[in-house]
Structure formats: C-alpha cells, structure tokens
Amino acid sequence: MATILIQGIECTYRDLKEGEEILYSEYDKDDQYFRREVVPFSEQESEELAAVYYEERKKKYSRVQESWVNREEKRMTYGNGVYAYINGKLTYIPASYWAYLNYWTLEWTINPDGKPDYREADRIFFIFMEYLCFETEVLGVTRGKGRRQGATTMGYFWMWWICGRNEQKIGGSISYNDTIAGNNFSAMFLHGFKNLPICFIRDVDSKSESYVSFQKPDEKSKKGTIQKKEGLVSYVDFLPNSVNSYDGGRASILLLDETGKYEKNNVNTYWSKVSPTLKTGRNKVGFAYMPTTVNPPKKGGENFKQFWKDADQNAINQKTGKPYGLKTPHKVVRYFVPATEGYLGCIDKFGDSVIEDPEEPVMGIDGVWITEGSKSVILNERSLKKDEQLMEHKRDFPLDEFDMFAFNTGVCEFNEERIITQMNWLRDNPVFLRQLRFYRDKEKKKSIYSEIILY
C-alpha cells in the first residue's frame, strides 16, 4: 500500500497495478493536467433514458456506452480511483475525487460547464476522507477552513456518493440555521444530483425539495398486500438545527455544516447525542463531516474552540505520553486548510495553489496569468480592515489556526504577531529536550538518641 502523511496521520491508498493505464502519460509534461471525461450520451438519449427505470435503462445502452459506464462505475468505487501523470508526477486520484471532478455540478461557479476545478489541495483531502471513513474507527472529521473553498459542496457530494450509489444507506445534513440548511440542500445536493449523467442516477420515489428517497416508486397493489421496496432503498434529507436532530436510528453519512456557528445548539452536547448513530455496538456504521468557519465566542465560537481542541490528533495524551492519533477523546480528528490553499484566481493549470508571489507569471487553471500569490491577496485585503472587521476577516480567511479563533483585538499587551510567529516556529522546529534520570543522594546520619539512620 502507498502511504502519505496528512495532518499528522499516515494515510494509505492502493498501489499502481501492473499493466494499469496511467492517464495523460502520452502527453508532454507541460500538457499533463486533468481532463474531464466525455459522457457518451447525447441530450436526446438522456431524455429518452430518463423516462424509464434504472434496470430497464441499462438494457438500452449501446456496447460503447455500456463499456464506458461499467468502467466509470468501477473508477468511482472506493478502492479503485485512477492513476495519472500530473505535471510529470505519478498521481493517485481517489475514487470519490474522480467522481466529484467529472460528474458533480456546483451551485455557483466561474466555469462554463459548472464542474469543479482540479486542485491538489482537494485531492489530498479526499484521500484523507476516504482513509478515515473506510479504514479506521474514526467517526468524523472537523474541517477548519477559509470561505469559498467548496468544503460544504464536497459534503453534499459525499452524501450522494455514499447514499446514491449504495444500498440501504442513510444521509442527513444540518447547518447553523434552518433556512441555510434548506437552501444548501436544494442548491448543493439536489442541483448536483439532478445534473448527474443519466446513467448514474438511480430510481427515486420523491419529488420533495427536503429529501430524496432512492427507491423505485411504489406501484398500486391489492389491498392488504405488502409490496417489496425496489432499488437502493437509501435516503437523504436535512433537518432543523436542534439537539435531537439525527439522534436516533443509524446514519451512514452526516454533514454537520458550520459547527463553529451553532448559537443555540452547543456542538459538544450535540456531538455526544448524534455520534452513537454512527455505531452499532462497537462496529462503525457511519461517518460525519463537519466543515466550518468560526463565529465570535458567544455565537458558537467558544463552544467550537473546545470541540476543535478535543479533536487534535497531534495533542499529547497525558496517560500515554504519546499523541492521541486516531483515538481522540470523541473519535473525531481535525483538518485545517489555510485560506491560501485553493484560493480562486491563484491556482495554476496543474491544480497547485500559488501561495507566494511568483518570480514570473504563472498560467492559471482558468487560462489567466497569475502574478500575485494568494497570501499577498489576502494580506492586502486584511491590511485595510481594523477592529471587529479585522477579526472577522481573519476567521473567514485564516492563514493558520490562530486566525480561526481571532476573537479579540487590542487585548494582548504584548506583540501578538511575534508571539504567534514564535509559537509556529517552535511547532515546526521542536526543541530537543535532554533526558535526565535523577537519583536521590542518600546520606547516613547517626541520631544522638538512638541508632536511627536518617536520610
């Protein structure tokens, strides 16, 4: 198995198989960038296929279409994915990311076709998600991030990837308020689902804007008879933000969006109630994904700060003297993505983030030359703000974890920037600590009263 260290966790993924096709190997290095698959169904064919149920639909494929669908279904299945050359580097694209890039549609985009851009930072994140979800006992990932990184959209895609392709799965989502939860479900999940190629859309028995039931619609049956459900018999929806949302039954995938903004519902209390639905006894049956920016302390920020602290896989367990690793106090690990990663307008054509100012212009993924790195763009915006607006900008576009929890300004009597810089340096360059063993120096003394030895 291949391994990669991500956020302090050694993640594994499959090796390149003997004789396996490597995408883009026929191109020169400068032309080795991601290319989206061409779907072999015309608009008219898609409309005709949409009129019949899934099993009947498959019988109408041509040989070329059938072969293509089977290949792509395999590529999109966990444990497969593809290998490709990206800018001369042998690169593994995990199954979920391959499906997301090629077939999911964004709710907002600068791309004419509405599809996500290939980003190296996202590829690494999807490897991290797949490993933790399928290969460990970890119950969830909390992701601290900058705004406009597409993190919530990824969560809704995962709801389809888990529940819209597999039998008897249950998915749910909440956000920091009920209106946002409904809007996101409609704009991100339903929009993405409805715009999938027709060959990947399973039968559904719902026309609701609040849920999707992945099963063949019931036909009329004789009175008193029980009709067997056909199809995946999976289900996804959204609920209001309350302490009892999704606290019963079981869940296969939960999207707990913006946990750093829960005002009425303490995220720590909520997690203690909802996490049992991801287990059956000792067996893990589900996974939670929690992307967020952070509110001020009294609007959910302070509660989330504690949740974030308890999810630190690199913190030292006082009982063992070693990092918690995958066994954090509440079986959640954290993933921090600085705002400089995947910043729109600062991604080169190979999907790498252009963070520092380039010495020479770099061709962007959108075909526009990049002359300024994302760090400079963010810091220039930040320099124009002060007081609470400055704190808000830091939390929305954090360069590090300190920015995520930028709650106060002008409180520290010392130079806060220098303190944080030194703390970051010590984290990245740990000081070697000498190890000593102390011995008690015993000295015998004779008492004047008796033959007692004192130490």
What pLDDT, on a 0 to 100 scale, did the predictor assign at position 222? 53
Distance (Å, whole) CA 109 – CA 102:
15
Res 186 pLDDT > 60? yes
The confidence band for 150, taking pLDDT boundaries of 50, 70 and 90, is: confident
User: Can you give the pLDDT at residue 145?
Assistant: 87
The phi and psi torsions of 43 (rounded to 5 degrees) equal -60, -40
Q: Tell me the residue type at 356.
A: E
- The torsion angles phi and psi of 396, rounded to 5 degrees, stand at -80, -30
The closest of 86, 87, 114 to 101, measured between CA atoms, is 114
Q: Which residues contact 272 (CB under 8 A, 6 or more apart)?
A: 330
pLDDT > 50? residue 198:
yes
Q: Tell me: the pLDDT tens digits for 24-49? A: 999 999 999 999 999 999 999 999 99
Structure tokens at 25: 């190997």
* pLDDT band, very low/low/confident/very high, at 52 (cuts 50, 70, 90): very high
- pLDDT score recorded for residue 433: 65
Two tokens, residue 164: 């819209």
Average pLDDT over residues 397-409: 86
Residue ranges and CATH numbers for the domains of the chain are 2-218+228-336 (3.40.50.300)
Q: What residue ranges in 179-303 does DSSP mark as E strands?
A: 211-214, 234-238, 253-256, 279-280, 283-284, 287-292
Each residue's pLDDT tens digit, 321-349: 899 999 999 999 999 999 999 998 999 99
Amino acid at 254: L
Q: Helix and strand tally (H, E) in the chain?
A: 14, 18
Sequence-ordered list of residues with C-beta below 8 angstroms from that of 404, at least 6 positions apart, any chain: 144, 260, 293, 294, 308, 336, 394, 395, 398
Q: Give CA separation, 131 vs 2, 28, 253, 312, in Å.
A: 12, 32, 15, 17
Give the model's pLDDT for residue 37.
96
Average pLDDT, the chain: 90
Residue 50 confidence (pLDDT) above 70: yes
Residue ranges in 262-409 assigned as alpha helix (H): 267-274, 301-310, 374-382, 387-396, 401-404
Q: Report the pLDDT averaged over residues 185-200.
A: 95
Q: How far apart are CA 15 and CA 89, in angstroms?
A: 15
Element (H, E) at 123: helix 120-135
**410: pLDDT confidence band, cut at 50, 70 and 90?**
very low
**Is-contact 198 41, C-beta < 8 A?**
yes
Range 416-431 average pLDDT: 63
Number of Cβ within a 10 Å radius of residue 284: 16
User: How far is residue 349 CA from its own chain's centroid?
Assistant: 23
Q: How confident is the model at residue 236 (pLDDT cuts 50, 70, 90)?
A: very high
Torsional sign, CA 79, 81, 85, 87: negative
What confidence score (pLDDT) does residue 414 get? 47
Q: How confident is the model at residue 149 (pLDDT cuts 50, 70, 90)?
A: confident
Q: What's the per-residue H, E or C state across 181-209? A: HHHHHHHHHHHHHHCCCHHHCCCCCCCCC
pLDDT at 228: 76
Q: pLDDT, tens digit, for every residue of 351-380? A: 999 999 999 999 999 899 999 999 999 999
Average pLDDT estimate for 260-284: 94
pLDDT interval class at 229 (50, 70, 90): confident
Structure tokens given for 243: 């302490």
Beta bridge partners of 283: 280
Highest mean pLDDT among 19-23, 218-222, 260-264: 19-23
Residue 194: strand, helix, or coil: helix
Nearest to 105 by CA among 41, 174, 34, 197: 197
Q: 227-249 burial, b for 16+ CB within 10 Å, e for fewer?
A: eeebbbebbbbbbebeeebbeee
Picking from 95-99, 145-149, 221-225, 282-286, which range would have the lowest pLDDT averaged per residue?
Answer: 221-225
What average pLDDT does the segment 281-307 reach? 94
Q: What is the pLDDT of residue 207?
A: 75
Contact criterion met (CB below 8 Å) for 96 and 161: yes
Q: What is the pTM of this model?
A: 0.88
Tell me the mean pLDDT in the region 73-86: 98
Mean pLDDT of 130-142: 97
**CB-CB contact of 82 with 118 (8 Å):** no
At 312, the pLDDT band (50, 70, 90 cuts) reads very high
Pairing relationship of beta strands 211-214 and 234-238 according to DSSP bridges: antiparallel
d(CA 288, CA 295): 21
**What's the token pair of residue 328?**
């954090």
The whole-number pLDDT of residue 411 equals 47
- Distance, in Å, from the CA atom of 93 to the CA atom of 77, rounded to the nearest integer, reads 12
CB proximity list for 360: less than 8 A, separation 6 or greater: none
